[in-house]
Structure 1
Amino acid sequence: MNAFLVLRKPNLRRLLTANLFSGIGDWFNSVAVLSLLMELTGTAMAVGITLALRTLPHLLFGPLGGMLADRCDKKKVMVVCDFARAAIALCFLLVSSAADTWLVYCGTFLLVVFSSLYNPSRLSILPQIVKRDELAAANALDESVYGVVMAVGSMIGGIFIALWGADVAFVFNSLSFVLSGVLISRLTVGLPEREERAETVAATSYRDVLTFVWKQPIVRPILLLTTLWPIGGGIVNVLISVYAFQVFHAGDMGIGLLYGAIGLGFIAGGMAASRFTNRPYKIASASLAIEGFALLLTSFSPSIYVTALFYTLSTIAGGMGNASLRTLLMEHVPGHTQGRVFALEATVSNVLIGFSMLAGGWLLSFAPPRLTGFAAGACITLLSIVFGLSLWRASRIAQTQTTRLLAKIE
């Protein structure tokens, strides 16, 4: 279905607009917090602690977010989390000296806690506000919004703070959560379109969810791919700054260019995915391998501009793949377990990406950036090919079984 037709739905527009404003607010907050820490402490240690605190809550609270999404009213969970984050975002206004650094740590930790509780509901509510045949287009639009958030946040976040200061950025972040909460509260949420079949017995624990996932030949490779991708993806994140500063000597402008290119790629990838909504298996299998290969090519890039082009290509492919994989999960995972499945995926991937970034920093202490980039790109490409082929085979088997069943009925 055409993405612009799906966008006519008021519920979807409200959800995407809420994601847009809260996401941009998050970017402004991130830039402001890191700038404030460098100004007050002058050490990279404070920055490192803050970045680590953005990973830990996913491990501790991500599974709880999945339980809340499956057992509680998703809309209420999201609204409570938004208003809680709006209040927490204002605590950064109290920071005035190095002695107040603990407030930055606590505020950062709590913001990510409520984001961990919020995200499983955000993802699993989508099948309840659009029809099943609209899921692919809706996920494509959501991927494009993610790209807009990254592009706008990275390109104008620093300029915004330079002109009006960090305090204004903190207030904007708080107001963005208030707006998000108001929009979410206006959602009209129905029951899942399809009734769950008798054999998909309601899972009562994460162990039941894992058992179900492992027995599903289509769901299993999707989750393995999305959770293992960060092994190379975390290193890629570290390399963005290294390429800009050490390889091409482009400084802050280079970082802005690369993040802007990544954001534009996600926008284009989401829009491209909306044109291939009837072929999610093929898109998912091929596009993520292309993403890895494009990242691998950055290690041979002769200039910052060619590197930006490769990053754009990688995220166009990645955006198409992510939208397709998320649609397949929503179609093949029972509605009463989707929150926990998305929570498990986010928990494992966030923990792995944290370790991967640490490993990337360690590798770069003795290995050239281009060699490290080649290894990260090769890792992503290999994982994408292996699990993409597994997904392709599973989809062909499922289609064959469906065809045989229809033939028997006839």
Structure 2
Amino acid sequence: MATHTSHDVSVADNAGYAELIVGNGNFRRLWIGTLISLLGDWFNTIALYTLVTTLTGSPLALGAVFITKMLPWAVVSPLAGVIVDRFNRRRLMIGADIARAVVVLGFLLIDQPGEVGWLYVLIAAQVVIGSVFQPAKSAALPNVTTPRELLTANALMSATWSTMLAVGAALGGLATEWLGPEAVFWIDSASYLVSAVFIAGTRIPQDTDAPQGSMLRSAAREITDGWRHLRTHPRIGRIAFAKATWAAGGGALVYLLALLGNEVAPGAIAAGIGVLFMARGIGTGIGPVVVRALFTDEKTWPRVMGAAIAACGLCYAAVVWVPWTTAWQHVTLICALIIVAHGASGGNWTVSSVLLQKRTEDRYRGRVFSTDWLLVMTAESVSIFTASLLLEAGWLTLVQSFLVFGGLQVACGLAWLAIVVPRERAADDAARQAP
């Protein structure tokens, strides 16, 4: 399949999901590989949260798991973007899958509180390897789809991430309770190998520069070029901050879900966390589908992003008004609020990704998406560290934390509407008036 660069397809003319999956073999194989590895990842994630909580009982130690899953990604993502823009993306994804399959087996050795430090080292290694896979996949999507398939492909990938979060969190919570974390880590390792097999059968053309000279010598220049590209193309630079704007409060709120799991299911931590993260997955799966159906005019998307960020914060703040008990009606209401919150965040994630893909030429796309990940992971890390430190020190209760960080996210959404939306409108007006 040839590389596609045309962006003049009407959103209303997008390909259907069945048409995309049945008719595009390269996308189908990439999608199936992603689906399987994500299922294993969410099994792994719930097991790690449960393992650390059981071994330490410390909010800060649990927060460190979240941060270790993000901060190393933020640190290495600029270099990862250079790699993705210089080397074969298909081979990079296959290599990343195989390497992660080996690394996650190291979690089998962690079973004592004194060994938790090594767990963070292994998580960091898994994340650093994954920091190449994710921008390679995002950058490859426009190369294996036609312009009319691109939004559908992004919505499907986002919905797949969400569905696997919902299914993986629910099944992972049950598997961790019944089989133990060790079995879950074996499952995750196997899922990476299956993913590598599917991606190996995928043809991914790309229009990027060939490697020139030493990667270490050229990395600084290439990273600088990526940042300069964002600065000199404000329509790209603004959208690159969309996910990070959500993450300023959203990172802490997702972390608080893991602590809330023990409140709604005392004595069954993995099951409680699994149920709440399942609700998160359902929401992020519904959001992209709803946005694709309701907001067919791309010019409305910046407003949708700001409103979605604020709505997510409002729903999380509302969680404190529901009694935290094991009663099914209370748990159901909490889950409903989480579903709506992450329906909004999933919509924000999808439309911001599509706009970045459409506005960025292929040779810079890997660096732009790596910068996108750098910003969101940094914002999430700071958010989670702040929340976990405040809880560990006793300066905030769990209830107060939901209110504080929910309010922060609402403020971020309103700031986006006040600052970014007028600039997007002005850029659209200028484009219409240009000869």
Which TM bucket (shorter chain)? 0.7 to 0.9
- Shift of residue 51, structure 1, vs aligned partner: 4.3
Percent identity of the aligned residues?
Answer: 23
1:25 aligns with 2:40: yes
Q: Give the letter aligned to residue 57 of structure 1.
A: P
Which residues in structure 2 correspond to 1:235-384 (within 5 Å)?
A: 235-246=252-263, 252=269, 253-276=271-294, 278-286=296-304, 287-302=308-323, 303-364=330-391, 365-384=394-413
Contact 1:234/1:357 (CA < 8 Å) preserved in 2? yes
- Shift of residue 80, structure 1, vs aligned partner: 0.8
Taking only aligned residues, the RMSD between alpha carbons, in angstroms, comes to 2.9
- Shift of residue 312, structure 1, vs aligned partner: 0.7
1:207 aligns with 2:241: no
Contact 1:79/1:181 (CA < 8 Å) preserved in 2? yes
* Distance of 1:52 and 1:321 partners within structure 2: 22
Q: Which runs of 5+ in 1 are unaligned?
A: 194-202
* Distance of 1:88 and 1:250 partners within structure 2: 30
Q: Deviations over 1:73-132 (max 9, x none)?
A: 111111111111112222334556667656534432211110112211111111111122
What is the match of residue 200 of structure 1? none
Change in Cα spacing, 1:248 to 1:136, as seen in structure 2 (3 Å) is: same
Moved more, 351-360 or 282-291: 282-291
Moved more, 234-243 or 109-118: 234-243
What is the match of residue 9 of structure 2? none
* Distance of 1:389 and 1:217 partners within structure 2: 16
SS in 2 for 1:205: helix
- Shift of residue 3, structure 1, vs aligned partner: 3.1
Change in Cα spacing, 1:366 to 1:19, as seen in structure 2 (3 Å) is: same
**Alignment TM-score, normalising by the size of structure 1:** 0.86
* Distance of 1:188 and 1:122 partners within structure 2: 12
What is the match of residue 69 of structure 1? 84
Change in Cα spacing, 1:163 to 1:270, as seen in structure 2 (3 Å) is: same
* Distance of 1:103 and 1:251 partners within structure 2: 25
SS in 2 for 1:7: helix
- Shift of residue 294, structure 1, vs aligned partner: 2.5
- Shift of residue 391, structure 1, vs aligned partner: 4.1
Which residues in structure 2 correspond to 1:28-67 (within 5 Å)?
A: 28-36=43-51, 41=55, 44=58, 47=62, 50-67=65-82
* Distance of 2:229 and 2:143 partners within structure 1: 22
Change in Cα spacing, 1:319 to 1:38, as seen in structure 2 (3 Å) is: closer
* Distance of 2:95 and 2:233 partners within structure 1: 34
What is the match of residue 216 of structure 1? 233
Moved more, 164-173 or 43-52: 43-52
Moved more, 51-60 or 114-123: 51-60
Q: Give the letter aligned to residue 282 of structure 2.
A: L
SS in 1 for 2:158: helix
SS in 2 for 1:189: coil
Change in Cα spacing, 1:371 to 1:166, as seen in structure 2 (3 Å) is: closer
Change in Cα spacing, 1:208 to 1:295, as seen in structure 2 (3 Å) is: same
Q: Which runs of 5+ in 2 are unaligned?
A: 1-13, 209-219, 324-329
Q: Give the letter aligned to residue 185 of structure 2.
A: F
What is the match of residue 422 of structure 2? 393
* Distance of 1:378 and 1:244 partners within structure 2: 21
* Distance of 1:75 and 1:212 partners within structure 2: 25
Q: Deviations over 1:157-214 (max 9, x none)?
A: 0222333333332221111111111111111223469xxxxxxxxx952222222212
* Distance of 2:356 and 2:107 partners within structure 1: 37
Moved more, 78-87 or 5-14: 5-14
What is the match of residue 197 of structure 1? none
* Distance of 1:362 and 1:100 partners within structure 2: 22
